[in-house]
Structure 1
């Protein structure tokens, strides 16, 4: 039986040593033109992976979510440094003309990409998603449906997903996306019931005795629950569901508030108005009118324009 307390300390100690060694190596050698580019790429890659393991195992160990929230920007910094050295390596003769993604969405890296996106959203860092999206986009040609659904509200101009680059368990969420709101709780409960078995080809499956085990959690179930405002009362106690993260996200910021940080002058229908003043929508002629902050923005489903999107009027007189 895994002694998780000692296991946590093992992962944490390894991560802290990694941070120190890589920082020292970059300071001493990062500026040298003859320093092997593959060495810089591999070292910063290991640090980025160690930092993500640090974040995930800290949640499993019951550490404060505020601590996790504070650490996430540092984690993203480490991934951006790795991306920089990875691109430098790909551009060099050392790569032999071969370029590979920072995180390959068709391979085992997908679970890491999923963890980075979901934890960023649930920890209140939706404003950092454009930076993460740039890492995910590198040499990944096919937009993944789940990743794009999670990123779309927070990264302007994203393309729609075209495929589930890793089919299971993630493709099973399509039923949740397609369902009406009242049917989503039961479908998400079913997703969680099937999650571990459906994950049998993912790298985390069966790893509970392995040195790098960080816990079994369906991070995507939590992120989708928060993003779609699904009532989780019927499944919050199920295995693999990180309910505390959803509670934290809901207590500290709503999806509408997160979107408003990035799009303060845009608001979807049926969402709370992010700021008081005059708004208008192209979905109805003569729609300009004042709203108070928190008012639910009306929808015009009969409009031929399509979805009702309200825009802040630049002329508030």
Structure 2
């Protein structure tokens, strides 16, 4: 039998502390039934909704921890199904639950959930994940998530990038090609961990003798690599890149589940108003200003007509 240090994917894991954490997560969030535990009568001051939520992120930490510890990816699928089912159970029990994208942890949860659903080829879970995102503009609507969900066939609102660090490089990657795309992903991975300082798990490997540390992974970089069919040679061995999960997805032809036609289909009715930043490079038309089709680069300010606010419509993504 191989030693733990030979099979672990996360080099920072310390065996004893990690196995203690893994045992706890399995016992409390996988082997124990959430429904029966949560149905126990409790005093009014006990936050049962908070206990229910703990099954969501506890199950997610268990899944990520198993990957970090070197478990075979096929063996992760039951844990992934369990994790997604806990989020769905929580949403059904508390319909007002939503991930507010201005919160760094919520934003990262959205990226992780989408990425894991794609990389483990669980397309039926993707629409559920989209349903967890708040539809209130005050809670955050994000251009990067809009484009990522568009790639898997789901339309979301969002014209601006909520967090430019480190996500601007990932946004650049999905709108670039060739060497430029590879270098954008490489740059994203190199600054990813520094950009996560506001997330609850940042630097967890330094705390309490590593208790609760489940590994650091930019799963979204793996998802973009697979869905945009990027050659990952320039960044394959960088920290935080889930290369084994990428290989798994490619071996199983996950990209066939998400044909490239989805990449532009949901943009056919995309709109942007004067003064807003162009959400995607492409050909735009304005029905109330006779200027003909115009090509705008992503990120430029959409023009007005001598102060008159116009509505632009995307007709072709580039």
CA distance in 2, matches of 1:199, 1:25: 33
Alignment of 1:106 with 2:102, yes or no, is yes
In structure 1, what is the equivalent of residue 134 of structure 2?
Answer: 137
Correspondence for 2:149 among 148, 151, 155: 151
Determine the structure 2 residue equivalent to 1:195. Answer: 192
Q: What is the rounded CA distance, in whole Å, between the counterparts of 1:26 and 1:67 in structure 2? A: 28
Matches within 5 A, 1:211-290: 211-255=211-255, 257-259=256-258, 267=261
Q: Is the 8 A contact 2:114 2:129 kept in 1?
A: yes
Equivalent pair of 2:112/2:219 in contact (CA under 8 Å): yes
**Relative contact order, higher structure (CA 8 A, sep 6+):** 2
Deviation of the 1:231 alpha carbon: 0.6
> In the aligned structure 1, how far is the partner of 2:39 from the partner of 2:199?
36
CA–CA separation in structure 1 for the residues paired with 2:99 and 2:40: 27
Q: 1:159 to 1:136 in 2, by over 3 A?
A: closer
Distance 1:112 1:177 in 2: 20
Q: Report Cα offsets for 1:142-179 as digits up to 9, x if no partner.
A: 322222222223344x1343222333211222221332
1:206 to 196, 203, 214: 203
- Alpha-carbon distance change, 36 to 4 in structure 1, aligned in 2, over 3 angstroms: same
Structure 2 CA distance for aligned equivalents of residues 48 and 80 of structure 1: 9
Contact residue 8 and residue 58 of structure 1 kept, 8 A: no
Q: Deviations over 1:273-307 (max 9, x none)?
A: xxxxxxxxx9xxxxxxxxxxxxxxxxxxxxx9944
Residues 234 and 71 of structure 1, relative CA distance in 2, 3 Å threshold:
same
Retained in 2: the 8 A contact 1:129–1:155? no
Aligned residue pairs, count: 253
- The whole-number CA distance in structure 2 between the counterparts of 1:268 and 1:85 is 32
More divergent stretch after superposition (161-170 vs 42-51): 161-170
Q: Which residue of 2 aligns with 1:17?
A: 27
| Alignment match, 2:92 | 84
| Aligned residue number for residue 77 of structure 2 | 69
Q: How high is the TM-score relative to the length of structure 2? A: 0.69
User: Does the aligned pair in 2 maintain the 1:124–1:253 contact within 8 Å?
Assistant: no
Instruction: Pick closer, same or farther for the CA change 1:5–1:159 going to 2, 3 Å.
Output: same
| Residue 180 of structure 2: aligned partner | 183
Distance in 2 (alpha carbons) for counterparts of 1:194 and 1:247: 23
Find the counterpart in structure 2 of residue 93 from structure 1. Answer: none
- Give CA-to-partner distance per residue, 1:186-212, whole Å, 9 cap, x none: 221122222223333333332212322
- Once residues 165 and 91 of structure 2 are traced to their aligned partners in structure 1, the CA distance between those partners, rounded to angstroms, is 27
Q: Deviations over 1:32-53 (max 9, x none)?
A: xx98596331111011111000
2:43 maps to 1:43: no
Question: Which residues of structure 2 form unaligned runs of 5+?
Answer: 1-10, 269-292, 294-313
4+ runs deviating over 6 angstroms = none
TM-score normalised over the length of structure 1 = 0.69
